[in-house]
Amino acid sequence: MMLAAVPGLLTRLPSYGKRKVKAANILASAPSDRNLGAFQDLGCRTTHCNSEVLQRCTLVFLATKPHLLPGVLQEIAPAVTRDHIIVSVAAGVTLQTLQQLLPAGTKVLRVMPNLPCVVQEGAVVVARGSCAGEQEAALLRSLLSACGLCEETPESYLDIHTGLSGSGVAYVYLFAEALADGAVKMGMPSALANKIAAQTLLGAAKMILETGEHPAKLRSNVCTPGGTTIHALHELEKGALRATVMNAVEAATMRARELGER
């Protein structure tokens, strides 16, 4: 079913509660056993022969490092038929490049995951090539919803998704660390502060998703006039938190575009 493993994304498809795919129906291929062991442990079949995947499977995930992907596409192109659905996870390799290196008419899609797929709370976006239809996009959305939120977007959003969510995970970790450090400074033990900081992020995120309210509305609901929160928010505004985070998303998006153009 796939040519290579993305630890944390594809390995989760057969392993978790939503069980969208039987492990025995997955065939993973890579040159060595380095990542294949994780698939074997889940009960997936493995091979070192990419063309075997094309012969046996119609839905094929390509998850090599981006610079290796053109070589893999050239290798598999003769075996690709109109029945195959080819899905690339490789960052920066465009639908145009994928379509150019595969036979005309091939159904091609791109997927951009993020790290929390490992706990089934990922944010995944899918973009489809000109020959992939609603049916293929719906199949992917259904499969990848096992990894968290999955949305179909135009291809131009994939780099923005990297800036917002792929890299965004790291900004949130930094914020969680700072939040806990503040509590440690005020006298709370570090382990407890880290746990409460993480739960605060989780709860706040859940409220945004479950209420559908704009974050600004939820934030203003917490601000009692003259209270603790508005005093703290004033400090964050003085530190330009909002502009700094916007700059971070912009910088990561621009870098993703730059890497894709190489």
Ligand X SMILES: NC(=O)c1ccc[n+]([C@@H]2O[C@H](COP(=O)([O-])OP(=O)(O)OC[C@H]3O[C@@H](n4cnc5c(N)ncnc54)[C@H](OP(=O)(O)O)[C@@H]3O)[C@@H](O)[C@H]2O)c1
Minimum distance, C-beta of residue 244 to ligand X, in the bound complex (Å): 24
Task: Pick the stretch among 59-67, 197-205, 216-224, 231-239 that binds ligand X (CB under 6 A).
Answer: 59-67
Rule CB under 6 A: is residue 180 a binding residue for ligand X?
Answer: no
Nearer to ligand X by Cβ, of 204 and 254: the residue is: 254
CA-to-CA distance for 92 and 69, rounded, in angstroms? Answer: 11
DSSP 130: T
Pairing mode, strands 122-128 and 107-112: antiparallel
Minimum distance, C-beta of residue 229 to ligand X, in the bound complex (Å): 34
Among 114, 164, 123, 118, which Cα is nearest to 145's?
123
- List, in order, residues 6 or more apart from 6 with CB less than 8 Å away: 61, 63, 89, 113
Minimum distance, C-beta of residue 33 to ligand X, in the bound complex (Å): 7
Minimum distance, C-beta of residue 36 to ligand X, in the bound complex (Å): 7
Minimum distance, C-beta of residue 27 to ligand X, in the bound complex (Å): 12
Helix (H) or strand (E) holding 151: strand 148-152
Concatenated DSSP letters for 74-90?
Answer: HHHGGG--TT-EEEE--
Q: Of 111-130, which residues contact ligand X (CB under 6 A)?
A: 112-113, 115
Nearer to ligand X by Cβ, of 63 and 164: the residue is: 63
CA-to-CA distance for 167 and 140, rounded, in angstroms? Answer: 23
Minimum distance, C-beta of residue 261 to ligand X, in the bound complex (Å): 15
Rule CB under 6 A: is residue 44 a binding residue for ligand X?
Answer: no
Concatenated DSSP letters for 178-191?
Answer: HHHHHHHHTT--HH
- Collapsed DSSP state (helix, strand, coil) of residue 128: strand
**Position among 57, 60, 63, 143 found at the interface with ligand X (CB under 6 A):** 63
**Position among 1, 91, 147, 256 found at the interface with ligand X (CB under 6 A):** 91
Q: Of 153-172, which residues contact ligand X (CB under 6 A)?
A: 166
Beta-bridge partners for 159:
none
Minimum distance, C-beta of residue 262 to ligand X, in the bound complex (Å): 13
Rule CB under 6 A: is residue 89 a binding residue for ligand X?
Answer: yes
Task: Pick the stretch among 12-20, 31-39, 100-108, 225-233 that binds ligand X (CB under 6 A).
Answer: 31-39
The angle subtended at Cα 248 by Cα 262 and Cα 167, nearest 5°, is 65
Largest CA distance in the chain: 69
Structural contact between residues 126 and 109, judged by C-beta atoms closer than 8 angstroms: yes
**Position among 1, 3, 98, 164 found at the interface with ligand X (CB under 6 A):** 3
Judged by the rule CB under 6 A, the positions of this chain that interact with ligand X are 3-8, 29-32, 34-35, 50, 63-66, 68, 72, 89-91, 112-113, 115, 166
